Amino acid sequence: MNNENIKIINKEILSNNWYTLNNITFEYLKKDGTREVLSREAYDRGNGATILLYNKHNQTVILTRQFRLPTYINGNESGMLIETCAGLLDLDNPETAIKRETEEETGYKIKDVKKVFEAYMSPGSVTEILYFFVAEYSKDMKVSDGGGHHDEQENIEVLEISFKEALAMIANGEIKDGKTIMLLQYALINNLLG
């Protein structure tokens, strides 16, 4: 943190239950040379990684479906969300973390992953940066049923669907997850499935 226009005045932990919610008071130097004191909340949950598994030969992708409480309380009737496999880095580097998460969630043990970009997903309130990956998969990489890590109380359904159907699911509103839409569009733009 080396922006000379910003000076952190106070940092107060509001919650440290699941992750950390901070209230940050800071001084900001405006373009006109005056200083303004602002207070904002920032949710720190660590950084994460996500991946789109695709199979060129079969023209399919692997996605997951799981319950997401925030979507439920914001009007998603079932609370279920279709997503690309994703998880927090914990103490791993992004590539190691996404390989671990892929095996836990989808049951596929992948070796070769390609990082395609990184992005802040909700920079107005969440500190997380997300690392985006793609990887080819095949049936012989399947080592388990997936479903998530038992200790993390994940109930993940693994979906293998056609790439064409996945794109249609964006248009018809079945896929509403930002990271998933970004990776599917990346695959389309870059002609990953040929």
The rounded distance, in Å, linking the Cα atoms of 30 and 175 is 40
Tokens of residue 100, six digits: 């671990």
Query: In 10 A of CB 192, how many CB atoms?
Result: 19
* Residue 86 counted as an annotated binding residue: yes
Q: Quick one: CA torsion of 186, 190, 192, 194, rounded to 10 degrees?
A: 140
CA 23 to chain centre: 24
* Residue 174 counted as an annotated binding residue: no
* Residue 154 counted as an annotated binding residue: yes
Tokens of residue 178, six digits: 């930002």
* Residue 104 counted as an annotated binding residue: no
Annotated binding site: 86, 101, 105, 154
Annotated binding site for Mg(2+): 86, 101, 105, 154
